A and B are shown apart, each in its own frame.
Chain A
Amino acid sequence: QVQLVESGGALVKSGGSLRLSCAASGFTFRDYYMSWIRQIPGKGLEWVSYISGNRNTINYADSVKGRFTISRDNVRNSLYLQMNSLRAEDTAVYYCARMTTSTDFDYWGQGTLVTVSS
């Protein structure tokens, strides 16, 4: 069955960096777009970024453009999010999700918490 397991969440100071990972299993990873989505505590979901299976297509939300970088390793079946210049407003649970051709997210991980202290 499809499994997505995030890791790397931590407490970090404002201006710092962090790298999140998502280990995927149960499907042909290279065939799918993958995405990061976050939920700020007490607030709603916010799409962060997506990357195509062949890495040729990448897009970011305006709120993270220039600070976050999405990448993937199709040999290790892993998705990554490099987060630089972190701000307090980046504090959130970060979810890894599989993206379908209909641009919906059909499988999600359990999330990893990133806390940015000011």
Chain B
Amino acid sequence: QSALTQPASVSGSPGQSITISCTGTSSDVGAYHFVSWYQHHPGKAPKLIIYEVTNRPSGISSRFSGSRSANTASLTISGVQAEDEADYYCSSYTTSSTVVFGGGTRLTVL
């Protein structure tokens, strides 16, 4: 149950687009359509922003989008805003019927 691999940090200026990668294996990210992304502001409850690789829950801005290629999933935030500064985590269901999270990525808005 090794954690999925994410960059520790990314940054961008307001209005820019940023992408966060999430690399796993054929036993997790590449196995099913069950990859999700969470936004976590410290001290608050994490929020689901992408589910089933590409879908946005109701109320989540269209600036957030998800994709996947083989064993790597990606989260793109288009037109980054100050309020997007947070930690972002990917997660995936696995072939062992467990769930694995990424190590998290801190987004800094410059």
Contact = CB atoms under 8 A, between A and B. Distances in A.
A104 B34 contact: yes
Interface residues of A, number: 23
Interface stretch (B11-19, B45-53, B74-82): B45-53
Interface in B23-54: 33-34, 36, 38, 40, 44-48, 51-52
Given A61-B1, A95-B45, A104 B91 contact: yes
Contacts of B40: 45
Interface in B41-70: 44-48, 51-52, 57
A61 B96 CA distance: 10
Interface residues of B, number: 27
A11 to B, nearest CB: 20
B25 to A, nearest CB: 16
Contacts, number: 65
A47 B101 contact: yes
A43 B99 CA distance: 17
25 contacts: A43-B104, A44-B3, A44-B101, A44-B102, A44-B103, A45-B38, A45-B40, A45-B89, A45-B91, A46-B101, A47-B100, A61-B98, A62-B1, A102-B52, A103-B99, A104-B34, A104-B48, A104-B52, A105-B48, A105-B91, A106-B48, A109-B45, A110-B44, A110-B45, A111-B45
Interface of B: 1, 3, 33-34, 36, 38, 40, 44-48, 51-52, 57, 87, 89, 91, 93, 97-104
**8 tightest CB-CB pairs across the interface, nearest first?**
A104-B36, A44-B104, A108-B45, A47-B99, A103-B93, A104-B51, A45-B101, A103-B34
